């Protein structure tokens, strides 16, 4: 099953209609979206659940408009967790109160009534920034804790991975921009974080943006920021990711999704080391190191109709090709062992042995989803296993030989079974690229995620 990028959001609003509307807008971003009618319950909730994002109204008392109650609870939250991601809900006439909330630690604010796309983007950015801050804290010399929290170290001693590690060690101490090429699931973000951790900018959190999961209409605002009133829904000033990453590193995931008309603006920002927010007239200076990644091949990136070559030359000062798992099969036993032990700890399951013949079978599997698919397979095996040893049935592998093509649909007329087979086929056809598979099936990304969850994929 492919997971949403974040675990938990909580919405605090005494208007049940507002809370429901926000929950529906955010449900595809989080595994769980909780709602609270009063901020009195919030401190205990935050202490016990540690949400990735908090959406907080400022006024709860009847006829209250000064936001004092919400600001008080905001202060309590930020004192308890300085890295909390709090997005304020405010009315159009109360922008000054929202600005005061941001001064006190809130990540951003949205005005009622909001556009769902804008709300989702704002909350996603806040949660991502919180995750980046937590990652930066964890990455500073706490490798064992990283493993327990589900973060993935850069594993593998194969010749292919030795070359990747050598390039990381050479590139990291410099400020050179890095382009990471590799199929989906190969671990491009892990490489980016390793480069950042070993750089002189590693004390600050790396800022990330997934261009493959960002609505095209929001690309420019997300990257460069915007001023108040620069477009419909821009009720306040917003700092873009390039400025947020000032003196740190910016990870542009799936850079191949950046629209052609915005590529010159990114190129100008990198060359002149300044950005012009949407609606602004004056540039803002930046000091950013860019680490970009894409699942596009070098040949497709060389296509002028898809990607500007002058921007490509700016991004790929150092180019790292991350090999697919089938090209580093010597690493599979180590990866399997690492993830089995990780999920045994996570789910409090006993440590089970992996028989040699099963290891041979796993090594021979072609792993079209790469390390991500292997990780999910290991998690499922830990959950399903009930014997002394792991068995092949514990792992969700197709019953087909290594190198075989996509299986044809069976003769079954069971609709659920046919739907599952079609989803599996589309995922394999597009190497587990969710956007492409969803397009092939005529579904939205969210709809595909829900069907994958339904069928345990």
Among 224, 22, 273, 4, which residue's Cα sits nearest to residue 131? 4
Residue 213, CB-side half-sphere exposure with 13 Å CA sphere = 18
Same structural domain, 183 and 313 = yes
Distance CA 12, CA 39 (A): 6
Same structural domain, 277 and 387 = no
pLDDT of residue 99: 81
Ranking 33-37, 106-110, 279-283 by mean pLDDT, the lowest is 279-283
Same structural domain, 313 and 333 = no
pLDDT of residue 75: 87
What CATH number does the domain containing 437 carry? Answer: 1.10.10
pLDDT of residue 83: 84
pLDDT of residue 149: 41
pLDDT of residue 442 exceeding 80, the answer is no
- Mean per-residue pLDDT of the chain: 83
What CATH number does the domain containing 354 carry? Answer: 1.10.8.60
pLDDT of residue 181: 95
The domain boundary, picked from 323, 343, 367, lies at 323
Ranking 145-154, 207-216, 346-355 by mean pLDDT, the lowest is 145-154
pLDDT of residue 197 exceeding 60, the answer is yes
pLDDT of residue 64 exceeding 60, the answer is yes
Same structural domain, 163 and 59 = no
Q: Model confidence at 141, in pLDDT bands (50, 70, 90)?
A: very low
Length, in residues, of the chain = 457
Q: What percentage of residues in the chain have a pLDDT greater than 70? A: 87
Q: Model confidence at 240, in pLDDT bands (50, 70, 90)?
A: confident
* 34 or 59, which is more confident: 34
pLDDT of residue 406: 42
pLDDT of residue 115: 86
Domain count, the chain: 4
Domain that holds residue 363: 327-394
Longest CA–CA span in the chain (Å) reads 70
The domain boundary, picked from 307, 323, 339, lies at 323
Cβ-based neighbours of 76, under 8 Å, separated by 6 or more: 43
Same structural domain, 331 and 189 = no
Token pair 């197709």 is at which residue?
Answer: 398
Q: pLDDT per residue over 304-319, tens digit each? A: 888 999 999 999 999 9
pLDDT of residue 3 exceeding 60, the answer is no
Among 9, 346, 338, 276, which residue's Cα sits nearest to residue 152? 338
* 354 or 90, which is more confident: 354
Q: Model confidence at 119, in pLDDT bands (50, 70, 90)?
A: very high
Q: pLDDT per residue over 375-431, tens digit each? A: 999 999 999 999 899 999 899 875 443 444 444 445 555 677 778 888 888 887 776
Task: Please report, to the nearest 10 degrees, the dihedral formed by the alpha carbons of residues 34, 36, 41, 47 taken in order.
Answer: 20
Ranking 7-11, 316-320, 338-342, 416-420 by mean pLDDT, the lowest is 416-420
pLDDT of residue 229: 65
Same structural domain, 337 and 294 = no
What CATH number does the domain containing 103 carry? Answer: 3.40.50.2300
Same structural domain, 169 and 305 = yes
Alpha helices in 198-318 (DSSP H): 219-224, 241-244, 263-272, 298-301, 309-315
pLDDT of residue 447 exceeding 70, the answer is yes
pLDDT of residue 2: 37
- Identify whether the C-beta of residue 365 lies closer than 8 Å to the C-beta of residue 397: yes
Same structural domain, 265 and 247 = yes
């Amino acid at each position: 099953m492919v997971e949403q990028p974040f675990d938990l959001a909580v919405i605090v609003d005494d208007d049940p209609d507002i809370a429901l509307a926000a929950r529906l807008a955010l449900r595809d971003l989080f595994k769980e979206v909780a709602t609270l009618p009063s901020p009195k319950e919030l401190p205990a909730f935050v202490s016990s659940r540690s949400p990735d994002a908090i959406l907080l109204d400022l006024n709860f008392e009847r006829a209250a408009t000064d936001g004092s109650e919400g600001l008080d609870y905001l202060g309590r939250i930020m004192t308890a967790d300085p890295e909390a991601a709090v997005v304020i809900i405010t009315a159009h006439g109360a922008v000054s109160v929202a600005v005061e909330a941001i001064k006190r630690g809130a990540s951003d604010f949205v005005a009622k009534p909001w556009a769902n796309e804008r709300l989702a983007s704002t909350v996603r950015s806040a949660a991502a920034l919180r995750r980046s801050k937590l990652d930066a804290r964890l990455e500073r010399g706490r490798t064992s804790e990283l493993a327990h929290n589900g973060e993935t170290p850069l594993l593998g001693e194969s010749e292919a991975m030795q070359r990747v590690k050598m390039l990381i060690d050479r590139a990291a101490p410099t400020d050179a921009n890095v382009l990471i090429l590799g199929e989906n699931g190969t671990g491009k973000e892990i490489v980016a974080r390793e480069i950042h951790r070993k750089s002189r900018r590693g004390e600050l959190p790396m800022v990330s943006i997934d261009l493959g999961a960002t609505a095209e209409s929001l690309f420019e605002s997300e990257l460069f920021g915007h001023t108040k009133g620069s477009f419909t829904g821009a009720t306040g000033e917003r700092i873009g990711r390039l400025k947020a990453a000032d003196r740190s590193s910016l990870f542009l995931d799936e850079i191949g999704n950046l629209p052609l008309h915005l590529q010159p603006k990114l190129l100008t920002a990198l060359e002149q080391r300044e950005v012009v927010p949407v609606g602004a007239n004056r540039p803002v200076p930046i000091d950013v190191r860019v680490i970009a990644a894409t699942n596009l091949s070098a040949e497709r990136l060389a296509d002028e109709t898809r990607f500007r070559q002058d921007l490509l030359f700016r991004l790929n000062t150092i180019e790292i090709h991350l090999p697919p798992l089938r090209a580093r099969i010597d690493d599979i036993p180590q990866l399997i062992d690492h993830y089995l032990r990780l999920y045994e700890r996570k789910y409090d399951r006993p440590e089970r042995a992996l028989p040699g013949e099963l290891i041979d079978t796993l090594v021979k599997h072609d792993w079209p989803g790469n390390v991500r698919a292997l990780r999910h397979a290991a998690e499922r095996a830990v959950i399903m296993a009930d014997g002394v040893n792991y068995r092949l049935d514990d792992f969700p592998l197709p019953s087909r030989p290594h190198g075989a093509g996509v299986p044809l649909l069976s003769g079954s007329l069971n609709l659920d079974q046919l739907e599952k087979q079609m989803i599996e086929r589309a995922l394999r056809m597009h190497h587990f690229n969710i956007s492409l598979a969803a397009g092939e099936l005529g579904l939205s990304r969210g709809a595909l995620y829900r069907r994958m969850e339904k069928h345990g994929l």
